[in-house]
Amino acid sequence: MARRALFVLLAGVLCATTSAGEEPGAERPADKPDLNGIWQVLNRANDGLEAHPAKASYALREGPHGPLPAEEVVALGAIGAVPAGLGVVVGGEIPYHDEALKKRAENRANWLSRDPEIKCYLPGIPRATYMPYPFQILHNQDAIFFTYEYAGAVRHIHLEDPGPAPLDSWMGQSTGTWDGETLVIETTGQNDQTWLDRSGNFHSAALRVVERFTKTGANTLRYEATLEDPKVFTRPWTIRMTLYRHVEPGAKLMQFNCVEFVEELLYGHLRRRPLE
């Protein structure tokens, strides 16, 4: 309900300067591209930012003739398998410090208990962009607003620097500027509990993300995000991919309020008589 109320409020701001009959965003600066719409990736970045082959599961165990899916996911069969991905990291590899690389290996080995996506926690930036769910951008000359299908996440983009974030949060604090026809968004103030994908890639609370949205066609955007976190990475590094706008008639975001879907996972053991 809070997400819906905020969405309505921001939608009102976006529509406030439009004339009767115009679409939201019609009053954006005349020299800026129209990014309004519902966007989605067509890649496997959420499975793993780096190039990876297909495998039987995110969580594996030793079998008599090689790795097998963990007991908790074996019944899912092909649905629980991991599809191959070409990778979206510019240069191919994420530049981890040695100790951080060990932690990523631990994350992968404990995917079922550690990946925040499983528990429906908010995804953070940049992961919210390339999860297998669409998101919507609404903007005009006075406001920029992102709303995500996954978990009802939202992001209000400040157009003036509000100063340091008052506290760390799941989605952080974002400030947007225009570099010519490219929308540039800097996000800081994220907590250290989000992952970058299902492969255990992670960050600390010192993460700074600079995203660049550049229109490359009528319904395509080049998306780049540069991640800087000296506690985890040896240098800044960048991911790059294409976003596609939904153009089918009646396109809209549906609801995937997954919090209620994980109640049994998180709290089922507290039942007076826990389910088997």
pLDDT above 70 (res 9): no
> What does the block give as tokens for 78?
């092909």
CATH 2.40.128.20 domain locations along the chain: 2-51+86-270
Sequence-distant contacts of 77-80: CB under 8 A, at least 24 apart? 80/56
Averaged pLDDT of the chain:
90
- Helix (H/G/I), strand (E/B), else coil: 101: helix
pTM of the model as a whole: 0.88
Average pLDDT over residues 7-15: 49
Nearest to 16 by CA among 150, 171, 180, 143: 143
Residues 6+ apart with CB under 8 A from 16: 142
Mean pLDDT lowest for which of 7-21, 69-83, 184-198? 7-21
pLDDT at 141: 85
Per the CB < 8 A criterion, the answer to whether 121 and 153 are in contact is: no
Q: What is the pLDDT of residues 61-93, one digit of tens each?
A: 999 988 899 999 999 999 999 999 999 999 999
Q: State the pLDDT confidence band at 30, using cuts at 50, 70 and 90.
A: low
Average pLDDT over residues 153-178: 94
Class of domain 2-51+86-270: mainly beta
Average pLDDT over residues 194-212: 98
